[in-house]
Each structure stands twice: as C-alpha cells, then as structure tokens.
Amino acid sequence: MLHLVDTNVLARALDSRHSDRRTANDAVTLLVDGGHKLVVVPQVLFEWWAVATRPRAVNGLGMHASHADSVLKSFEARFPVLPDDSRLYSAWRRMVVEHGVSGKTSHDARLAAAMEIHGIAHLLTFNAADFVRFPHVTVVTPHEVLAT
C-alpha cells in the first residue's frame, strides 16, 4: 500500500526535543517493514527545509543548510520523490474552490491534489483534522500505526 509521508512526520522524526520523535520513527519503520511503500512529493521536502533551517526559537529545528542538505539527501534515498506535473495546479484549484479552502490550509489542499494525481489514498500525518474535508484522502496517524 502506498502512503504519502507528511512534513510533520519527517520533522518530528528528527526533532530530539519532540515527544513524538520515537512515534514518528517507529511508525515509518513498521509501515516499511509491513511492505508499505512510503513516498514524498516536492512540497513535503520544501516545507521540511523551511522547518529544518528555521531557528528553534520560532518552532524550527535550527539546522544549518549543510546539515539540512545531508538530511534531505537521506530522505531522497529512503522515500521516492514523486514529481509535480502539469495536472497539479488544476487539481489544487478545483479542490480549494470546491472545499472552500483558505489561508494556510491551501498547502494541505496542494498535498491532497498531489495525492489525487498520483493515485495515493493514504497520508501518514500527525494532523488528521487538516485533511478531513478531502474525501479521497485516508489519513493514517503514526499513533494509529503503532496501535495496530
């Protein structure tokens, strides 16, 4: 089964101060060991870079660009990066209008659109509530993975 990994899972997996660090890492390991394929899209990596290189004082990981680059390379090796393509904008635009999306949640709509065009049903995320409005997205939280 194919799962898109959300930015928050990658960020928490590397945040030594976050209480969900182990949960994030264990959920990824369990899914992979269970035969699931985990992928990312460019947006996840863009968002991760922003979090990784933002200072800790403003809810970031405080990494220098060179460290973030080496981590990014490890993500690219571990999770196939599915490409953005010309269908993404149209799918995103339809979703934001159809579901009345506004503000920061338009980033979530872009992930939902990427999932639709790539035929991905499952999203591994800590932010389940952010995707409720998108009926084609089946949210799987890391806590649910560990509970099964």
Say if residue 137's pLDDT is above 90.
yes
Distance CA 83, CA 20 (A): 29
Domains of the chain with CATH codes: 2-147 (3.40.50.1010)
User: Do the bridges between strand 122-124 and strand 138-140 make them parallel or antiparallel, or are there none, so unpaired?
Assistant: parallel
Average pLDDT, the chain: 97
The answer to whether the beta carbons of residues 126 and 9 sit under 8 Å apart is yes
The predicted-structure confidence for 94-123, as pLDDT tens digits, reads as follows: 999 999 999 999 999 999 999 999 999 999
Q: Say what the pTM is.
A: 0.96
Other CB atoms within a 10 A radius of the CB of residue 117 amount to 17
Give the list of residues 6+ apart from residue 75 with CB closer than 8 angstroms, or none. 10, 40, 45, 48
The predicted-structure confidence for 48-90, as pLDDT tens digits, reads as follows: 999 999 999 999 999 999 999 999 999 999 999 999 999 999 9
Strand partners, 39: 4
Strand partners, 138: 122
